[in-house]
């Protein structure tokens, strides 16, 4: 006889789509079901195909698919089987909290959840659909209010929907074997359902990701081009397409260009002093172009929006954003009403803590309201555009600074060269006259000592002048370096002959070893200066009984000239400053030796002009090794 359902239905609310029933797994396989899910043009069509496959393959009289909406409710989106069930269930919503209560007390059949009918349950809602069928006289008979559902979860375990079945074939609850078959099928079908449900969301993500990627690529090369307006214009169209906007305005304040008439490409601030304003081509020709007072408002609001990482959206019927005062909100709504625009969105541009501009986007009715995903993508674009603005400005400043430093360096080199040349004439006079005076007869001892001291001091000044001139020539970018084959071993031998006697008088052994065929392209005079400075320093800072070794090695397309001593060594914290002009070590033993502090600076500049480099290793008290690496001659 028919079951009376009115009281029972009031006693317990069925989930969207009642459930139950055994059945074999014949016919179409799961792969075909997956194909069906993806083959439909929309997610709802795919879900309907899944529900129909469940009724046809597993033998249930009714199958329903419901999805979680905005984490608040569960909506039935597909029903197959009984037409009355489809009419009653399709489009209905159940609070997600009620669903979780039902699942919490249900029996666990693997991944399935079964809730048997219990007339003792307290009264509750009466919505849903209950079939009008007779209950068989059997302990396992299927009751119309029995529930059998398969929760559908994503890879993170989040509930995304339900697959519910009702009216099993034979009118009995599924036995253990049938449950296992149903569980395996539900697991596979569930993945297909989740995939279909996520299809539209994935399409949205791909669309936004493509737009974001286009903006990121365009901005990544902005600094290399030093064309900020051009870069921003290229991004504007990608943003308009990706975010489905009808008009866009890019506003970039430039504190270094306060005059609006000097903005790039003829797009002056138009009443927004100091700002670069780029209007998208379509919007610039329409009567709904953004007025200057709203551009000013965008500039004023962008900083707060950047701090909050928030997209400020204004649309009729939407609550006013907290970053806008009521009067400001009313001004924007008035503009929307006058122009027929559906919404305006303000996207801040920035890098780190600094807001660098604003992007204003206008939408028509066809694009709909702004989603959270679109707002997140817009913020990402704001980061990319902000980095492009910052990188371009920093590079512009860096290039200006480099140009200024180069000009200062050229002036300094000219000044050094001029002063050195001007010193040579009076210095020559001092040396010459002191020599003439010393040649006179009858000089008392005090006068002779004084003239000797003058000569000695003049000699030191002469050495300083020579070093200054050498430094000036070595660092002059206008002076070309000869590229003639130079036998570096011959240069070393000449220096050995020149300094060998001084080394012997000091008790220092000077040794030359290594490759006799070390030829490099360069200027022999300059390279001779390099070897003299390095060997002279090594001898000067070596104690009596020490050894200075000059070695040459060729390999890897270069020649390495190494000068090693067993002298006082250099502290680790001084190694990075050795090649600075006029630098003298703080070691008292080093300062006791005369010098100008220019020798190593000259060495480094000459080596750099020859396309090489200088390295140094040292240990205090055990000596130092300076190695010059030069390209070898072909």
Q: How does DSSP assign 269-298, residue by residue?
A: -TTSTTEEEEE-HHHHTSTTPPPHHHHHHH
Span of 261-265, 376-380, 629-633 with lowest mean pLDDT: 261-265
CA distance 54 to 165: 8
Q: Residue 305 pLDDT more than 90?
A: yes
What is the C-alpha to C-alpha distance for residues 8 and 121, in angstroms, rounded to an integer? Answer: 9
CATH architecture of 202-395: 2-Layer Sandwich (3.30)
Q: Which fold has domain 399-475?
A: Helix Hairpins (1.10.287)
Who's near 247: CB < 8 A, 6+ residues apart?
240, 279, 280, 282, 283, 286, 288, 289, 290, 341, 361, 362
Q: pLDDT tens across 164-186, in order?
A: 888 888 888 877 877 777 777 77
Q: To the nearest whole percent, how much of the chain has pLDDT over 90? A: 13
Integer CA distances (angstroms), 316 to 45, 103, 216, 323, 332, in order? 33, 41, 32, 17, 10
CATH 1.10.287.130 domain extents, the chain:
399-475
Mean pLDDT of the 132-152 span: 84
The values of phi and psi at residue 120, to 5°, are: -85, -5
Q: Where in the chain is the domain with CATH 3.30.565.10?
A: 484-631
pTM of the model: 0.46
Q: Which helix (H) or strand (E) holds 94?
A: strand 93-95
- Reported as a single tens digit per residue, the pLDDT across 105-137 is 888 888 889 988 876 654 333 346 888 777 777
The answer to whether 601 and 616 are in contact (CB under 8 A) is no
Quick one: DSSP state of residue 353? T
Report phi then psi at 631, rounded to 5: -60, 135
Which part of the chain is CATH 3.30.450.40? 6-197, 202-395
> Phi/psi zone of residue 9: left (φ > 0), alpha (ψ -120 to 50 degrees), beta?
alpha
> Which listed CATH number (3.30.450.40, 3.40.50.720, 3.50.50.60, 3.40.1440.10) goes with 6-197?
3.30.450.40
pLDDT over 60 (residue 254): yes
Residue 328 pLDDT more than 90?
Answer: yes
Could you please state the CATH topology (level 3) that the domain comprising 484-631 is classified under. Heat Shock Protein 90 (3.30.565)
pLDDT digits (tens, 9 = 90+) for 503-516: 888 898 899 888 77
């Amino acid at each position: 006889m028919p079951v009376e359902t009115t009281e029972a239905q009031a006693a317990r609310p069925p989930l969207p789509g009642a459930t139950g029933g055994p059945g074999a797994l014949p016919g179409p396989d799961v792969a075909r079901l997956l194909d069906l899910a993806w083959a439909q043009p929309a997610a709802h069509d795919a879900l309907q195909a899944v529900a129909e496959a469940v009724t046809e393959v597993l033998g249930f009289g009714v199958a329903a698919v419901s999805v979680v909406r905005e984490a608040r409710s569960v909506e039935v989106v597909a029903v197959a089987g009984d037409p009355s069930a489809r009419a009653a269930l399709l489009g209905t919503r159940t609070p997600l909290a009620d669903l979780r209560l039902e699942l919490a007390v249900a029996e666990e059949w693997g991944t399935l959840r079964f809730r048997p009918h219990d007339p003792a349950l307290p009264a509750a809602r009466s919505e849903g659909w209950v079939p009008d069928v007779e209950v068989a006289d059997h302990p396992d008979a299927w009751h119309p209010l029995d529930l059998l559902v398969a929760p559908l979860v994503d890879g993170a375990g989040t509930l995304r929907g339900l697959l519910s079945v009702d009216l099993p074939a034979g009118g009995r609850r599924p036995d253990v074997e049938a449950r296992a078959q149903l569980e395996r099928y539900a697991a596979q079908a569930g993945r297909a359902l989740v995939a279909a449900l996520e299809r539209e969301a994935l399409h949205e993500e791909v669309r936004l990701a493509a737009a974001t990627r286009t903006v990121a690529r365009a901005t990544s090369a902005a600094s290399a081009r030093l064309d900020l307006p051009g870069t921003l214009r290229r991004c504007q169209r990608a943003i308009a397409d990706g975010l489905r906007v009808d008009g866009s305005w890019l506003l970039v304040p430039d504190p270094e260009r306060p005059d609006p008439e000097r903005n790039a490409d003829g797009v002056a601030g138009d009443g927004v002093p100091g700002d670069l304003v780029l209007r998208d081509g379509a919007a610039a020709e329409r009567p709904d172009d953004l007025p200057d007072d709203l551009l000013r408002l965008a500039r004023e609001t962008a900083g707060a929006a950047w701090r909050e990482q928030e997209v400020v959206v204004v649309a009729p019927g939407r609550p006013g954003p907290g970053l806008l005062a009521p009067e400001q909100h009313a001004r924007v709504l008035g503009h929307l009403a006058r122009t027929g625009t559906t919404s305006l969105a303000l996207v801040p541009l920035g890098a780190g803590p600094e807001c660098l501009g604003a992007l204003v986007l206008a939408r028509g009715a066809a694009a709909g309201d702004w989603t959270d995903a679109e707002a997140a993508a817009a913020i990402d674009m704001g980061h990319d555009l902000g980095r492009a603005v910052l990188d371009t400005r920093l590079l512009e400043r860096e290039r200006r600074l480099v140009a200024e430093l180069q000009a200062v360096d050229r002036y300094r080199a000219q000044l050094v060269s001029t002063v050195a040349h001007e010193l040579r004439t009076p210095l020559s006079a001092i040396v010459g006259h002191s020599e003439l005076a010393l040649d006179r007869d009858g000089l008392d001892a005090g006068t002779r000592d004084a003239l000797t001291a003058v000569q000695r001091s003049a000699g030191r000044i002469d050495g300083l002048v020579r070093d200054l001139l050498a430094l000036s020539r070595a660092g002059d970018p206008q002076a070309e370096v000869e590229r003639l084959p130079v036998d570096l071993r011959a240069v070393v031998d000449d220096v050995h002959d020149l300094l060998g006697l001084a080394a012997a008088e000091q008790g220092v052994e000077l040794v030359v070893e290594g490759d006799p065929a070390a030829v490099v392209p360069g200027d022999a005079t300059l390279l001779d200066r390099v070897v003299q400075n390095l060997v002279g320093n090594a001898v000067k800072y070596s104690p009596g009984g020490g050894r200075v070794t000059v070695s040459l090695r060729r390999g890897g397309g270069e020649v390495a000239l190494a000068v090693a001593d067993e002298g006082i060594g250099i502290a680790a914290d001084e190694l990075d400053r050795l090649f600075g002009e006029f630098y003298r070590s703080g070691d008292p033993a080093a300062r006791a030796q005369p010098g100008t502090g220019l020798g190593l600076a000259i060495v480094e500049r000459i080596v750099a002009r020859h396309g090489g480099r200088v390295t140094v290793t040292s240990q205090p008290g055990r000596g130092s090794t300076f190695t010059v690496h030069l390209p070898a001659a072909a």
